[in-house]
Copies of this chain bind each other. A is one copy, B any other.
Amino acid sequence: MSKRIITISREFGSGGRAIGKQVAERLGIAYYDKELIEKIAEGTGFSKEFIQEYGEHAPGKNIFSYSFLGRTASGMSMQDYIWTEQKKIIKELADKEPCVIVGRCADYILRRREDCLHVFVHAAMDKKVERIVSLYGETVDKPEKKLRDIDKKRSVNYQYYTDREWGQSQNYHLCLDSGVFGIEKCVDLIVDLAGK
């Protein structure tokens, strides 16, 4: 078994991005996270900041921001337009080269490919708080609330566009508690399971 593409979905603060980056380095393959945002921004004409803010946040729970975002000339909502572009770009990347893709429902978008390893990374709340405070400093206001809010948005976005539950183990080949195993061990496991 050898997997060309590794998708990493992650709870905010779980270290999923760091894990993805290290996996890509160890395997010597491309890593798409911010680079993906840039590509979607280019493809849609929106700013990177706009894509960063709205690309993983569904309209489902916030009708006002949804309405506010408006619609394209073709009548498609802005978020649906971003979703369509995101899907296209992720599929193109997967066709182009072996890579690690973080977030953006890539596990769902690439679910029919056989050459993917789909991973979900999570951790207990205290471990995530510890991590974001150590990364962003003590200035993070109400870290637990911030963590919950961001994951809630990711979860709603995922459910809205995929009709599946975010973090439901059956959607992934491997789910890991990075708080228990540590970042390094998670990297080792993914590299091993990717079949290199």
Complex Cα–Cα for A179 and B14 (A):
26
Residue picked from A122, A168, A169, most chain B C-beta under 10 Å:
A169
Interface size on A, residues (CB 8 A): 20
The segment from A37-45, A92-100, A170-178 that touches chain B is A170-178
Smallest Cβ distance from A147 to chain B, in angstroms? 13
Neighbouring B residues of A175 by C-beta, 8 Å: 120, 169, 172, 174-175
Q: Report B-chain residues with C-beta under 8 Å of the C-beta of A167.
A: 168-170
- Flag A159-196 by CB within 8 Å of B: 1 or 0 each: 00000010111101111110011000100010001000
Query: Which B residue's beta carbon lies closest to that of A189?
Result: B189
The listed residue (B1, B169, B193) touching A169 by CB distance below 8 A is B169
Residues of chain B within 8 A of A193, CB atoms compared: 181, 185
Instruction: Find out whether the CB atom of A1 lies under 8 angstroms from the CB atom of B170.
Output: no
Note all chain B residues with C-beta closer than 8 A to A177. Answer: 172-174
CB nearest neighbor in B for A122: B170
Q: In whole angstroms, what is the CA distance A126 to B161 when docked?
A: 25
List 19 A-B pairs, Cβ < 8 Å: A1-B180, A1-B181, A11-B170, A120-B175, A122-B169, A122-B170, A165-B165, A167-B169, A167-B170, A168-B168, A169-B169, A169-B175, A172-B175, A173-B176, A173-B177, A173-B181, A174-B175, A175-B175, A185-B193
Instruction: Beyond A174-B176, A181-B193, list 10 extra A-B contacts (CB 8 Å).
Output: A1-B180, A11-B170, A120-B169, A167-B168, A168-B168, A168-B169, A169-B169, A173-B177, A173-B180, A175-B175
